[in-house]
Amino acid sequence: TFCFAFAWTIGGSCDARTRKMFEREVESWFPSVTMPRNGGCYDGFVSFHEGPKWKNWTELVPAFVFDDTVSYFQLLVPNPDTVRFSYIIDRMLSRQFSVFLTGNSGVGKSVNISNLLEKMKELAGVVPIYMTFSAQTKAISTQLTIEGKLEKKRKTLLGAPVNKTVVILVDDVNMPLVEEYGAQPPIELLRQFQDQRGFFDRKKHDWKDIENVTLLLCAAPPGGGRNNMTARFSRHSHVLCMPPTSEEAMNTIFGSIITGFLQKFKQEIQGLANAAVAGTIELYIKCGDE
């Protein structure tokens, strides 16, 4: 159990390049621990049903059911990565610890956590608030959005509805423009909330406390208009890095979607699914390499 917690606490922020290196270090630091079969410390979870005992995340991956009423961009094909990151984020949010999820564009960060929040909304009494930052986002609009979604408990106290918790999902959190002296006001507002659990009223200048509210942050790495996050801000969150989608996972994801989409077509058309997926993935990988 400690090995599992250690790996995800210290190594959750490792990218694809450093993840294998960290796995080898964990194996050397915990020689008495038998790692999950066919994998390292990231490939399994601790089960107490027969336990404690390592089991692979693949055992928790549910079957995908294609729904043609759902937008393509909202479809989520379960795979070991979505399962493991959903589990870790769920555990953190249930204890009101802030999470900062990063990873390259296209790895499924936004759709994965949006899907998780909808499940937590139904099962755990979570009230999600969705926000997306851009280069033009202002601190005042961020504050007014948050205040407008929270319940007024007392004159100077805001919070979640009774017996519920609020999770504020901030997508593209590193997009706001950096000012002349290095500040990003919307992010400084969020940092103040995490530092002091509140902020000042814009009109009366009174302090407002905020309770039962947790931040879930999401951003791709710096570059292309995205900026570096200061340690003063990111230190408040458990940083997790979703690795690039493997070729095997891409085959599973796109194969499941196109197979479901072609169910209403003739058999000879359905038979083209695997070839279409393989060709698309091959083209994608070649474009990425160049």
75-102 per-residue burial string, b: 16 or more CB within 10 A, e: under 16: bbbbbbbbbbbbebbbebbeeeebbbbb
Contact between 151 and 158 under an 8 Å Cβ cutoff? The reply is: yes
What's residue 196's pLDDT?
A: 95
| SS3 (DSSP) at 128 | strand
What's residue 207's pLDDT?
A: 95
| Tally of CB atoms within 10 A around 147 | 15
C-alpha 266/C-alpha 35 separation (Å) is 46
Amino acid making up residue 119: K
This prediction has a pTM of 0.88
Map out the domains of the chain with their CATH numbers. Answer: 1-60 (no CATH), 61-241 (3.40.50.300), 247-289 (no CATH)
Q: In terms of Cα–Cα distance, which of 104, 112, 106, 110 is closest to 88?
A: 112
Q: Give the β-pairing of 198-200 and 207-211.
A: antiparallel
Amino acid making up residue 89: I
- Rounded to 5 degrees, φ, ψ at 154 are -140, -175
> Cβ contacts of residue 29 below 8 Å, gap of 6+?
none
What's residue 264's pLDDT?
A: 87
> Would you state the structure tokens that stand for residue 25, as one six-digit string?
């270090």
pLDDT per residue of the chain (290 residues) written in tens, 0 to 9: 888 899 999 999 998 889 889 988 998 998 888 877 777 888 888 888 777 788 889 888 888 888 888 887 778 888 888 999 999 999 999 999 999 999 988 788 888 899 899 999 988 889 999 999 999 999 999 999 999 999 999 889 999 999 999 999 999 999 999 988 888 999 999 999 999 999 999 999 999 999 999 999 999 999 888 999 899 999 999 999 998 888 888 888 889 999 989 988 998 898 889 999 999 989 988 887 77
What's residue 17's pLDDT?
A: 85
What's residue 172's pLDDT?
A: 94
User: DSSP string spanning 238-276?
Assistant: EEEEPPPPPHHHHHHHHHHHHHHHGGGS-HHHHTTHHHH
User: DSSP string spanning 168-180?
Assistant: EEEETTT-SPP-T
Q: In terms of Cα–Cα distance, which of 104, 98, 105 is closest to 169?
A: 98
